[in-house]
């Protein structure tokens, strides 16, 4: 533990160690979103931004905002993380709506766009689900 208290020539308090762990965790979570996106893109063979990318963006930026507000207290850092959660949440909502609108192929189980007439994977004719009548 003595090694941690004198890391980088600074005499760290337990409070500083705690907040630096929060800050570095936020940075690691935020960085990991690029690895997730890269993996998903390589796996699919086209550019893909999975929902996990937006969840990691949200989690990492909120951890960094807490770090900035509670420990760093520098207005530039606080402002840089104060509003970027808005598009992350909006993209998660769009992702959810898109997933709900998909039509499952009866032949292969592939998810297809709601406007598709045939499955791109197996070519089977798609029958959209009947929506309940409005009362």
Quote the strand ranges of the chain, DSSP E: 103-104, 111-112
- For tokens 């390589």, the residue is 42
C-alpha atoms less than 13 angstroms from C-alpha of 48 in its C-beta half-sphere: 15
The predicted-structure confidence for 94-126, as pLDDT tens digits, reads as follows 988 877 777 888 778 788 877 888 887 788 888
CA distance linking residue 91 with residue 94, whole number of Å: 5
pTM of the model: 0.69
**What are the tens digits of pLDDT across the range 35-76?**
999 999 999 899 989 999 999 999 999 999 999 999 888 889
Q: Crossing angle of helices 75-82/51-67, nearest 10°?
A: 150
How far is the C-alpha of 113 from the C-alpha of 135, rounded, in Å?
Answer: 27
Instruction: Please report the pLDDT score of residue 133 as a whole number.
Output: 58
């Amino acid at each position: 533990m003595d090694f941690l208290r004198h890391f980088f020539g600074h005499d760290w308090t337990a409070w500083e160690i705690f907040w630096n762990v929060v800050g570095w965790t936020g940075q690691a979570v935020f960085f990991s979103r690029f690895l997730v996106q890269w993996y998903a893109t390589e796996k699919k063979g086209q550019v893909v931004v999975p929902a996990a990318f937006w969840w990691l963006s949200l989690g990492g930026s909120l951890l960094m905002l807490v770090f900035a507000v509670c420990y760093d207290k520098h207005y530039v850092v606080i402002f840089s993380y104060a509003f970027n959660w808005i598009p992350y949440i909006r993209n998660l909502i769009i992702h959810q709506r898109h997933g709900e609108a998909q039509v499952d192929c009866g032949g292969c189980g592939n998810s297809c766009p709601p406007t598709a007439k045939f499955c791109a994977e197996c070519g089977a004719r798609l029958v959209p689900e009947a929506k309940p009548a409005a009362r």
